[in-house]
């Protein structure tokens, strides 16, 4: 077994490592979705100052942001079945991935809740007033005016969180899930060419991150209405008299 570094192995291992890509992607996608939904709930509770839930949300967020994600993962993976056992639920056959969805999902939720809250509060108050005085219901106001603007405001920070999550999923192998990093580790253990295997994995992450970054930037450009380059046309000083008949 030759233990010198052999660059050609990087490309040789590539397809094998790549085969675990769906796991990494699935982890990132599901955790992001959970993060958005739960994060929005936390943001709502904190903004509406709901008495009991607001404190729970604050403690939860502090905890998540104040502990390493690895510890959160172990707590969920080893601790949750234990507690569920107390309530009589058997968690023996649950796929390890589910624990990761919970861990990463809640982790994302804590960070996203702040991004969501900040974005919602960045929408100018007069947007609310204009909508309400036009006769919009609260629901119409939120879905037509506030949320669309908040989403665009939140997009850059959201992009950062998602790409960061992608890198964080690399810890999944510690509970035995075979994602891209897990595959690389297994390969390295079997062949003793761990460096080449990890470089192979690293290349995949670099490409994925690049794609994600480009994707988000494209989304931002397409939906951003405050920096379009259309020229400001001179105002028309002559205004004809209104002859608007009152027809509906």
Partner 1 sequence: MIEVKDVHKSFNDNEVIKGVSLSLNEGEVVTILGPSGSGKTTFLRCLNFLEEADSGSITVNDHEVVFGQASANDVLQLRRSMGMVFQNYALFLNKTAKQNIMEPMVIVHGYSTQQAEARAEELLRVIGLPDHGDYYPSQLSGGQKQRIGIARALAVHPTVLLFDEPTAALDPELVGEVLKVMKAVKDAGVAMIVVTHEMQFAYEVSNRVIFMADGVIVEEGTPQQIFESPQEARTKTFLNRFTVN
Q: Is 140 in the site for partner 1 (CB under 8 A)?
A: yes
**Residue 50 or residue 129: which is nearer to partner 1 going by CB?**
129
Q: How far is the CB of 214 from partner 1 (least distance, A)?
A: 24
93 versus 243: smaller Cβ distance to partner 1: 243
Q: Which is nearer to partner 1, 87 or 232 (CB)?
A: 232
Q: Does residue 227 interact with partner 1 by CB under 8 A?
A: yes
Report the nearest approach of partner 1 to the CB of residue 219 (Å). 15
Shortest distance in whole angstroms from residue 44 CB to partner 1: 20
Instruction: Lay out the site mask for partner 1 across 105-134 (x = CB under 8 A, - = otherwise).
Output: -------------------x-xx-xxxxxx
Give whichever of 132 and 159 is closer to partner 1, judged by the CB atom.
132
Q: Which stretch binds partner 1 (CB under 8 A): 26-34, 68-76, 214-222, 228-236?
A: 228-236
Binding flag, residue 148, partner 1 (CB under 8 A): yes
Could you tell me which residues come within 8 angstroms of residue 110 by beta carbon, excluding any fewer than 6 positions away? 39, 42, 60, 61, 64, 65
> Is residue 241 within the footprint of partner 1 (CB under 8 A)?
yes
- Is 51 a binding residue for partner 1 by CB under 8 A? The answer is no
Where on the chain is the footprint of partner 1 (CB under 8 A)?
124, 126-127, 129-137, 140, 144-145, 148-149, 152, 225-228, 230, 232-233, 235-242, 244, 246, 248
């Amino acid at each position: 077994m030759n233990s010198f570094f052999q660059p050609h192995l990087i490309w040789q291992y590539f397809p094998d490592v790549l085969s675990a890509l769906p796991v990494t992607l699935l982890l990132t996608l599901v955790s992001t979705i959970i993060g958005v939904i739960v994060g929005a709930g936390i943001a709502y509770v904190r903004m509406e100052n709901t008495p009991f839930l607001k404190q729970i949300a604050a403690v939860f967020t502090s905890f998540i942001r104040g502990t390493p994600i690895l510890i959160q993962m172990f707590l969920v993976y080893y601790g949750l079945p234990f507690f569920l056992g107390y309530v009589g639920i058997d968690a023996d056959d649950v796929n390890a991935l589910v624990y990761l969805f919970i861990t990463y999902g809640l982790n994302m939720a804590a960070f996203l809740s702040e991004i969501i809250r900040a974005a919602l509060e960045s929408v100018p108050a007069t947007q609310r007033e204009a909508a309400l005085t036009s006769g919009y219901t609260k629901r119409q106001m939120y879905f037509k005016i506030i949320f669309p603007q908040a989403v665009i405001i939140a997009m850059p920070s959201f992009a950062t969180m998602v790409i960061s999550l992608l890198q964080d999923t690399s810890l999944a192998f510690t509970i035995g899930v075979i994602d891209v990093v897990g595959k690389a580790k297994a390969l390295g253990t079997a062949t003793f060419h761990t460096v080449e295997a990890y470089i192979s994995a690293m290349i995949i992450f670099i490409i994925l991150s690049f794609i994600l970054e480009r994707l988000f930037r494209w989304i931002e450009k397409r939906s951003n209405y405050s920096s379009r380059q259309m020229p400001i046309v001179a105002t028309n000083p002559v205004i004809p008299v209104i002859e608007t008949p009152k027809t509906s």
